Chains A and B, each alone.
Chain A
Amino acid sequence: MAAVGLKCPECGSLDIVDDEHYSQPQLVCADCGAVVSEGLLTTTRSEELQGTDVRYSNSTEVNKQPCRNQIKGIHRVRALCRILRLSFVMEETAENYFKQAYEHPSFIRVSLQKKEVLAGCCILATCRQHSWPITMGTMTCLLEANPKLMGVVYQEMVKALKIEAPPTSVIDLLETHCQAYKLSPQHVHEELSESSKDLTKRAAVLLELAADAWLVTGRQPVPILTASIYLAWQSLKPTQTRLKYTLARFCQMAKVAKSSIAPKRVTELKEVLCKLGQELPWLRGSEMTPQTVVQMVDDILNYRLTLLRKALKSHEAALASESELPPSLEDTQPGPRDDAPSLDATASQPDAESAQQPQQDVDLTCTVVMGGLSRAGSGQVSTPSKRSLFEPPSVTHAKIRRVQLPVKEVTGDEEISDSEIDSYIRTPQEMRDYAEAKEALSSSEEEF
């Protein structure tokens, strides 16, 4: 029965059925065959049941075609690779990573914002694997994304895809960073210009010195790069004009972004250079201040190994003389040796997990410093002076932990001090009031 209440106009029967004449739906009387009503021969697109878009999960399709956002993401990856001028191999790797990550269950349902950042993270991972120096900050700027979101997505992606992407060292980042500084003769005055190669070389040496003096570990890489390039530029031609340029003005001139942390790094680096510069024999004991040290940087860097040895020696001598004075120290140091810390002896220091493998001339500096550090730090004495010559700045300006005072139990039997006794003894007025009140009470009690 097609519909209740429909009657055939010819024979009057109620037996109307839904029948189709080829593809035209008709309502036909089952008894006499009269057509009661018929539908349209053609249908619109929205009424079609066959050939419509079917979801992948409802179909029998084997390979899933990439969805629109995935295709957009892959285009984004390709575009970023072209901007960064990466090689074809790297582009392919980045695309593969993106495809894998996109289809991974932890990324398939995240917000579009995260998927955009995912594209950048894949490229970052590829660059790191191929030792292409790029910072996360650069990628964040390119994507105009939130740096924290970038960090979160990057770490999730590395965990999900189980890839190993060794982070770039600061020294590798130096060359690319240096190229951003516009200091060629066509950009600035001839007196202020410097070639990128010289600048990189000098800055690399300064950076290694900073790394040995604990200024690089645990800190943001970009400010220390800026600081070392600034000092390199000043020291390559220490004329009055250059020395008068502050860091902010230097960044403005070289058309590089300013940073609020770089001036602190400049100060720290200058302090380290001062410590070394103090040992220069042709100074003959005159004070080396951060202002005058810049002119001497050239000499300091050329002879830094010798200066380092001498500085450690004099520091140990100073510590020895200090430890002799107070005899009541618990663990006195076993008398720091007066011979210069030999480079061979330091190779056997196994304590710090980061014992350097001596590779080149540069690393000898590290082993000398490590030797100085570990030897000076072997005693548990907390001398007023620093334990070693170069300590991480967070150790020298240590955070003072607030000590919680033990809560004392109040028993009531404590001694009353003289200053407080007045609050316990009644004044004459109080005594009178008390007597009156007592009388009033006792009289009211008697009444009852």
Chain B
Amino acid sequence: MEPSNDVALDIIITNVVAVFRTRCHLNLRTIALEGVNVIYKPEYGKVLMKLRKPRITASIWSSGKIICTGATSEEEAKQGARRLARTLQKLGFKVRFADFKVVNVLAVCSMPFAIRLIDFTKKNRPIASYEPELHPAATYRIKTLKATIQIFSTGSLTDLLGI
């Protein structure tokens, strides 16, 4: 490939995980009985609520901590979280929208070339590690960004960024 060839890489964000707190105790049984689109998991002590408009699945604990997964961008995650808080408010709880924080972002990308993993790991030790018997991809960890990138031999990259 000539260096002047500017290939625009499509980095697609597939998952954004965010947490927030409602600062009030939530009765899981009430949510499970009266809420719409909920799944009650008593063995884990949580309720799963799925929203349609920003496609989000939220795990709700009785302490008031909520984890939202499935969003495709940070704004969507915040929107979904707010919508969720509003739904809980309508169910009768005195919720507040507090401590919203995006925890994890997962993105995928595809390189237009294949990658020879063994040579790649040799050149990038110890940042990159590759164990063919355990997992088919090489793991590249960037400490400063707290990112873990999994590199497959087909050229696909999966990037997990934890904040």
Contacts and interface: CB of A to CB of B under 8 A. Distances in A.
A185 interface: no
Interface in B99-120: 112-120
B132 interface: yes
A136 B120 CA distance: 21
A147 to B, nearest CB: 8
A352 B7 contact: no
Interface stretch (A239-247, A259-267, A387-395, A415-423): A387-395
Interface in A350-386: 350-356, 373-374, 377-378, 380
Most chain B CB neighbours (cut-off 10 Å) among A158, A169, A350, A394:
A394
Interface residues of B, number: 31
Interface string A215-236: 0111111100000000000000
From A167, A169, A378, A380, residue with most partner B Cβ within 10 Å: A167
Contacts of A395: 114, 154-155
B73 to A, nearest CB: 15
A155 interface: yes
B137 A220 contact: no
Interface in A47-100: none
B117 to A, nearest CB: 5
A37 B58 CA distance: 74
Contacts of B134: 136, 147-148, 151
A392 B114 CA distance: 7
B137 to A, nearest CB: 7
A164 interface: yes
Contacts of B152: 218, 394
Contacts, number: 93
A377 B1 contact: yes
A122 to B, nearest CB: 16
Given A380-B7, A392-B154, A395-B154, A217 B117 contact: yes
Contact of A218 (B3, B113, B123, B132): B132
Contact of A166 (B125, B136, B154): B125
**Contact residues of B: prevailing secondary structure:** loop
B126 interface: yes
A219 B119 contact: no
Given A136-B134, A378-B2, A217 B153 contact: yes
A219 B112 contact: no
B116 A352 contact: yes
A137 interface: yes
16 contacts: A135-B133, A136-B134, A151-B133, A151-B134, A154-B131, A167-B131, A216-B118, A221-B133, A350-B3, A352-B114, A353-B123, A354-B118, A356-B116, A377-B1, A392-B114, A394-B153
Interface of A: 135-137, 147-148, 151, 154-155, 158, 164, 166-167, 169, 214, 216-222, 349-356, 373-374, 377-378, 380, 391-392, 394-395
7 closest cross-chain pairs (CB), A and B: A354-B116, A218-B153, A354-B119, A217-B153, A218-B136, A151-B134, A351-B1
